[in-house]
Every structure is written in structure tokens, then in C-alpha cells.
Amino acid sequence: MSTANIVSKEALLEHWLGHRNLTRRVIEAFPEKELFSFTIGGMRPFSDLVKELLSIAVPGLQGIVSNTTEGYNHDLKLETKAELLAQWDADTPKISELYNQISEERFQENFNLFGQYEFPVIHNILYFIDNEIHHRGQGYVYLRSLGIQPPFFWER
């Protein structure tokens, strides 16, 4: 097995935080009402997708750092755009703080995330990022359907 490495711990955090900047702008682009009510094809409104992201990032990292396997709870009591954005902004520095507590060795170790997803820590963290991109892409369709131009995907 080769151990050639190409993404540093610092670079992956920076990559994630860049995605979070963009996701924040997508939340901001939604009108208050549609953020909580607009759906397509029986999917969840974008506010619920954001609550999923919020209930995964910091709680997931907390689980990894403190080695606890409590389940997640997507049903957060955030009922306005301002509340969602405030939680988003409160969580961003917590992500950096928790992430930086994970040693490089730990990234390769298995962890039973939320008592349910037994994978190497690096897989769990890549999943957090991928899942954010996935749901944000869905938010882009909602915005387009509402006649609103989403932020450029490549701006972070």
C-alpha cells in the first residue's frame, strides 16, 4: 500500500470552510417563506436540508473528538432564516476547533459515527462535505425554480 498523500489536514479543513461559505450564501439567497416551505417532488424544504447539515457537522465532530456514539437529531428548533444563519455562524468556528483536535493518526482509525456509521474518520468527514455539496446542489434547483439566481458554484 502506498502512503503517498496529497491532501493535508489543514487543506481539507480550508476546503470544507470554503464550501460552508458558499452554502451560507445559498441560505441567504432564499426568501424567508420559501426557505421553510418551498419543495419539489415531495422533498424537504431547504431549511430542513440545512438543519440536517447543522445536525451532522458539529455533533459529528463532537462525537469523534469525545468518542461518543450518540445518535443525530435533525429536528432542530430553528424557525427563521436569521436563526438558521446564526446557528450556521456559531458552528463554523466550532468546526475548526473540533477538527483541529483530531490527530492525523485518528483520521485513519475507524469510528462508529452516531452509533451507526462505522468508517475511518476521514471517510466520515469527507461524507459531511459531500453531503453538504449534494444538498446545496438541490437548493440551487429550488432557487432556480423560484426564479432566483444562485451564487456561482466556484466562489467560496
Binding site for a copy of itself (CB under 8 A): 1-12, 15, 19, 40-43, 104, 107-108, 122, 126-127, 130-131, 133-138, 140-147, 153-154
Measured from the CB atom, the residue of 81 and 135 that comes closer to a copy of itself is 135
Q: How far is the CB of 105 from a copy of itself (least distance, A)?
A: 10
Measured from the CB atom, the residue of 83 and 130 that comes closer to a copy of itself is 130
CA distance 27 to 47: 8
Q: How far is the CB of 82 from a copy of itself (least distance, A)?
A: 26
Query: Residue 45 — φ and ψ, nearest 5°?
Result: -65, 160
Task: Determine whether 35 is exposed, middle or buried from the number of CB atoms within 10 Å of its CB (0-12, 13-18, 19+).
Answer: buried
The C-alpha R_g of the chain, in whole angstroms, comes to: 16
Closest alpha carbon to 110 in 124, 96, 130 = 124
Measured from the CB atom, the residue of 62 and 131 that comes closer to a copy of itself is 131
Q: How far is the CB of 59 from a copy of itself (least distance, A)?
A: 18
Measured from the CB atom, the residue of 20 and 135 that comes closer to a copy of itself is 135
Name residues whose C-beta falls within 8 Å of residue 16's C-beta, 6 or more positions apart in sequence: 95, 99, 125, 128, 129
Q: How far is the CB of 40 from a copy of itself (least distance, A)?
A: 5
